[in-house]
Structure 1
Amino acid sequence: MQTVPVHIDLTTEPGAPDHPNEDYCSVALPALGHGGCLVLLDGVTPPAGDDGCVHSVHWFTARLGGALGELSVSRRDMTLEEILAEGVARTAEAHSSTCDLSHPRTPQATVVLARWDEESVQHLVLSDSTLLLERADGALVPVQDERLDTLPSPVPELRAAVRALPDHTPLPQREAAVREYMDAVESLRNTDEGFHTAAADPAVARLAVTGSTPRADLRSLTALTDGATRWVDRFGGTWAGTLDLVRTRGTAHLVQAVRDLEHAVPYPRGKRHDDATAVHVVL
C-alpha cells in the first residue's frame, strides 16, 4: 500500500508564562495506509474558588485528549460521537472516586476531532474551538458550534455593553461589567438553554456538530482554540485570511500576530492573553 504524505504545522502557547497551558493537541498518523486523526482541546479555566476536583485542568485535557486519540486510531468501527462519549466516560471514571464530578466547575474542555482514511474525513466540534475545512476547489468551510453566539438574554445585552465601554472607562467599572457578563455566560454552561463542553457526562457527545467529507474533496484541515481565533473574533480578521496566513507563514506566525494585537489593546475585554493553539494538516 502506498502511503500519502501529510504535512503538519502545530503551534501552542500558554496565555501566561507562569500558568500551565490548558490546551491539548495531537495528530496521529498510523505507520501504514492513508489514515490519521487530529485531537484539539481547550481546557476551561474555572473561576476562582472550589471546583470539586483535586486535579488540574491540564490534567483533564491530557487525560481526555489521550483517550480520544487512542480511540480514534484503534476503534475505526466507532463514530466520532461514540469516541467522544467513551473518552469522557473513561476520564470521568479515572477521578470519580476522588472528585465531585457533579460540580458545575468540574474540569471540562472544548473539543475538535477529525479522523481520515483514503475514503473520507469525519469531523466533530463541541463548543467554541473551530475547524476550517479547505476544499480541493478552494472553498473554505468553517465548522463551529454556534450555541455561544445565540445565548439568551441577558448575555447579548451584557456583551454589547462591555463592547460599548469607552476607552476612558475607569478600570473598576470596566472589570465589573466584564465580570457581570462572564457570570451570565457561566450560568448557562452545560444547560439545555445554553451551551455545552466535555466534562463528566458522556451524553454531551450527541450535542456536538458532526459531519463527513470525501477525502478527495479536501486539501487541508486547520483546528484553532479560541485563543487563536481572536485573530477573527476580536481583531477583524477573516477565516480566509487566517488560512492564508497559516499556509504561507505558519501557525507560529498566526499566534504571534494575535499576541502582538493583544499587547496593543489598552483596555482588553476579559483576560489579555489566552492559551492559543493552531494546527494545520495538509492531507
Structure 2
Amino acid sequence: MRVALTSLPAEPGQENEDFAAVAPGAAVLLDGASVAGAETGCVHGVAWFSSTLGGLLLGGITAHPAQSLTDCLADAIRDVRSFHEGTCDLTYRASPTSTVVAVRAGGGALDYLVLGDSTLLLADRDGKTTAVTDQRLDEVGERLREPVDQLPTGSAEHAAALAEYRDALTGLRNQPGGFWIAGPEPRAAEHALTGTVPLDSLTSVTLLSDGVTRLVDSFDLADWVRVLGVLSSSGPDELIRQVREAEAGDPDGRRWPRGKAHDDATVLHWVLS
C-alpha cells in the first residue's frame, strides 16, 4: 500500500475530532461531531468516540473479511456503546456521533461504506472520478440553516442562530426523513451507502472529511479532477493548505457562509497503481 495521510485540527492546539487509519488492504476515516456548546452526556468526548469507533471498525473489517462493512460498523458501534454506557448518558440528544468512510480490498474488488457527509473519491483508469457522499445531512441542513447563513461567522448573532440550527438538526438525527450517522445505535449502519467496484479499474482511493471537501462543495474553488491533481503532484498537505488559504480570505463567512471559519481537515490518499 502507498498511502499519504494528513489530519489537522481546525485551530492549532485544538483537539482534532477527525480520525483516519490504515491497515493492509483497508482504510477508515471518521469525522466526530456534537452540538457546539452543548453538553454531550459523555465524559469521554467526541475525539474519543471517533477514534475508538474508528479503531474498532478497522480491526473488524480486517479481521473478518467475509463480514459486510455494514455488519462490521454495527458491531463496532455496539462495542463502543458497551465501553461507556455505564458512565455516560447515551440517550442524550447531543451525545457524540461520527461520520464514517470505510474501504476494504479483497478478492479483486473494493468494498466501500459511507455514512454521513464525509466523502470517498474513486479515480479509475479511464480518468473518471466518482465522489460518494451521503447527502442526507446537507439536504436536511438546507431546510434549516437560512437564518445562520445570513449572519457573519464568528458574531454573537451567528453563534446564537447556529446553536438553534444545530439543536433542530439534532432532533432529526437517525430519524426517518432526517439523516443517519454513527452514534449510540447500531441500526444506523443499515442506512449507510455501500458498494463494490473492481479493484483493477481503480488508480486511487481517497477518503476526505468535510473540512477538506468544502474546497469543492462549498467554496467552488476546485473540482474532483483538480483535487486529485493536487494530491498526485503535492500530496494532502498542499490540498489542506489551499483550504486554509481560502478560509483565511473569508474569515467572517460572507463569501462562503459556513458554521465555523475552520474545521478539522483530514485526507487519506491511497494510490493503487
Distance in 1 between the 2:123 and 2:245 partners? 27
TM-score by length of 2: 0.91
1:1-283 superposed matches below 5 A = 6-29=1-24, 36-151=25-140, 155-163=141-149, 171-236=155-220, 237-268=222-253, 269-283=258-272
Structure 1 residue 142 displacement after superposition: 0.6
Could you say what secondary structure the match of 2:181 adopts?
Answer: coil
Seq. identity, %: 40
Distance 1:194 1:74, change over 3 A: same
Q: Name the CA shift for 1:20/1:121 in 2 (closer, same or farther; >3 Å).
A: same
SS in 2 for 1:141: strand
8 Å CA contact 1:127, 1:197 repeated in 2: yes
Asked if the contact 2:93/2:170 (under 8 Å) is kept, the reply is no
| TM-score for both structures, normalised by structure 1 | 0.88
| Matched AA of 1:117 | G
Name stretches of at least 5 consecutive residues in structure 2 with no aligned partner: none
Distance across 1 between alignment mates of 2:83 and 2:31: 20
Verify the 8 A CA contact 1:134 1:220 in the aligned structure 2.
yes
> How many residues were matched structurally?
267
Q: Give how far 1:170 is off.
A: 11
Shift of 1:172: 4.1
1:199-227: CA deviations, max 9, x gaps?
Answer: 11111111000000011111110110011
What SS does the corresponding residue of 1:97 show, helix, strand or coil? coil
SS of match in other structure, 1:273? coil
Q: Which has the larger radius of gyration?
A: 1
Q: Does the Cα contact within 8 Å between 1:23 and 1:275 map onto a contact in 2?
A: yes
Supply the distance in 1 between the matched residues of 2:206 and 2:267 (Cα, whole angstroms). 7
Q: CA deviation at 1:156?
A: 2.9
Higher mean Cα deviation, 41-50 or 128-137? 41-50
Q: Matched residue of 1:51: which SS? A: coil
Shift of 1:277: 0.1
| Aligned equivalents of 2:181, 2:58: Cα separation in 1 | 18
Q: What's the secondary structure of 2:127's corresponding residue? A: coil
User: Match of 1:82, SS?
Assistant: helix
- Range moving further from structure 2, 136-145 or 107-116: 136-145
CA contact (8 A) 2:209 2:267 kept: yes
Alignment CA distance shift 1:270-1:170 (3 Å): closer
- Alignment check: 8 A CA contact 2:117 2:138 kept: no
Alpha-carbon distance in 1 for matches of 2:180, 2:8: 24
Alpha-carbon deviations, 1:55-90, whole Å to 9, x = none? 111111121111111111110110000100001001
